[in-house]
């Protein structure tokens, strides 16, 4: 898949351990880059970054990963591994939407929704899933419209609203699926107060080919209540964190001869400037 958008998980002090755990849990993966600061892995062709630095926040269930599998044995294998030392939110069981589904937070604080799908379904393996909860409930449709208008190759694939029988406010989103730059994401509303909100322990990396792309994403994502942070990080108006970076940044910061100079340059910037990083 090798999409230009992928998630970053902050798991301080245990990046190598977590990377090995996820590779063992899900299989069909490999380590792409590794250093004391960051480990990048691929799972079924999809990239994940695991970071050993940055904010002090920890992952929570406001952003989870829907894992889709056609193999029941695989579903149970994922579940058994992820629940070790973790916390079960919804037990692995039969539900209206799947013959086998469960929601778990693993021992590193990352949440996974494991679901069996039908043989004839075409699906991305790992799907980031936003939960707009508490005071943010009701913002799902607005967020989907915003994200799909911002990124190329984007579309809304489906929105299912709650019914009266769901004990939720009708019109809120029970489940939605959308695509940004060919990367499938999901979202839902929950008016229950789960005690979590979006934070920067899970962010989304956007690799850009040009400075114009960086400038465009930076301007639009920080508009209308978004915030510049530092080192290419920002939060959008919904509180979701993004890293807007040049495509070759990871190679620069893991190059032993240049990493210190490049990181020093990055630390002095909010929005990243490609020309300045290449000169570092």
- The pLDDT tens digits of the residues spanning 101-133 come to 999 999 999 999 999 999 999 899 999 999 999
Same domain, 56 and 181: yes
Q: Which among 160, 190, 220 is the end of a domain?
A: 190
Q: How far apart are CA 237 and CA 139, in angstroms?
A: 11
Give me the count of residues in the chain. Answer: 280
Domain total of the chain:
2
Smallest CA-to-CA distance from 185 within 138, 151, 223 is with 151
Residue 58 lies in a domain: yes
Domain that holds residue 219: 209-279
Same domain, 162 and 66: yes
Residue 204 lies in a domain: no
Task: Express as a percent the part of the chain with pLDDT over 90.
Answer: 81
Same domain, 102 and 185: yes
What is the overall mean pLDDT for the chain?
A: 94
Same domain, 116 and 225: no
3-class DSSP assignment, residue 104? strand
Residue 174 lies in a domain: yes
Instruction: Report the pLDDT averaged over residues 231-259.
Output: 88
Task: Provide the terminal-to-terminal Cα distance of the chain, rounded to the nearest Å.
Answer: 31
Smallest CA-to-CA distance from 236 within 248, 221, 249 is with 221
* Residue 2 banded pLDDT, cuts 50, 70, 90: low
Instruction: Report the pLDDT averaged over residues 21-45.
Output: 93
pTM for this prediction: 0.94
Q: Which residues have C-beta within 8 Å of that of residue 254, sequence separation ≥ 6?
A: 33, 35, 37, 38
What is the CATH classification number for the domain harbouring 36? 3.10.180.10
Same domain, 56 and 151: yes
Same domain, 145 and 263: no
Q: Which among 190, 217, 242 is the end of a domain?
A: 190
Tokens representing 120 are: 């004839």
Same domain, 57 and 166: yes
Same domain, 39 and 116: yes
Residue 235 lies in a domain: yes
Q: Given this model, what pLDDT does residue 37 score?
A: 85
Tokens representing 186 are: 């999901």
Q: Which of 120-124, 134-138, 251-255 has the weakest average pLDDT? A: 251-255
Same domain, 169 and 44: yes
Residue 96 lies in a domain: yes
Q: How far apart are CA 166 and CA 174, in angstroms?
A: 9
Residue 195 lies in a domain: no
Whether 261 and 276 have beta carbons less than 8 Å apart is answered as: no
Same domain, 92 and 158: yes
Same domain, 148 and 25: yes
Phi, psi of 201 (to 5 degrees): -70, -25
Residue 60 lies in a domain: yes
Instruction: Report the pLDDT averaged over residues 178-193.
Output: 96
Same domain, 235 and 151: no
Q: Which among 136, 159, 190 is the end of a domain?
A: 190
Please say if the pLDDT value at position 139 is more than 80: yes
Residue 202 lies in a domain: no
Q: Which residues have C-beta within 8 Å of that of residue 91, sequence separation ≥ 6?
A: 102
């Amino acid at each position: 898949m090798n999409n230009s958008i992928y998630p970053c998980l902050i798991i301080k002090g245990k990046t190598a351990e977590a990377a090995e755990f996820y590779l063992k849990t899900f299989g069909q993966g490999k380590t792409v880059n590794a250093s004391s600061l960051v480990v990048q892995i691929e799972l079924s062709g999809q990239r994940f970054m695991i970071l050993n630095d940055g904010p002090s926040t920890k992952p929570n269930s406001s952003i989870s990963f829907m894992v889709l599998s056609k193999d029941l044995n695989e579903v149970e294998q994922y579940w058994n591994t992820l629940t070790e030392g973790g916390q079960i939110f919804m037990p692995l069981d039969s539900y209206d939407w799947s013959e086998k589904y469960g929601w778990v937070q693993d021992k590193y604080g990352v949440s996974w929704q494991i679901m069996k799908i039908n043989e004839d379904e075409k699906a991305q393996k790992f799907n980031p899933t936003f939960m707009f909860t508490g005071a943010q409930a009701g913002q799902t449709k607005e967020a989907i419209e915003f994200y799909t208008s911002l990124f190329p190759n984007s579309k809304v694939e489906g929105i299912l609203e709650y019914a009266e029988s769901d004990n939720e406010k009708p019109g809120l989103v029970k489940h939605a699926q959308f695509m940004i730059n060919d990367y499938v994401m999901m979202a839902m509303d929950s008016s229950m107060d789960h005690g979590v909100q979006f934070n920067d322990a899970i962010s989304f990396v956007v690799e850009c080919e040009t400075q114009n792309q960086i400038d465009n994403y930076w301007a639009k994502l920080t508009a209308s209540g978004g915030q510049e942070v530092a080192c290419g990080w920002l939060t959008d108006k919904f509180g979701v964190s993004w890293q807007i970076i040049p495509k070759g940044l990871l190679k620069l910061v893991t190059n032993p001869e240049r990493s210190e100079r490049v990181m020093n340059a990055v630390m002095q910037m909010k929005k990243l400037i490609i020309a300045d990083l290449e000169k570092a």
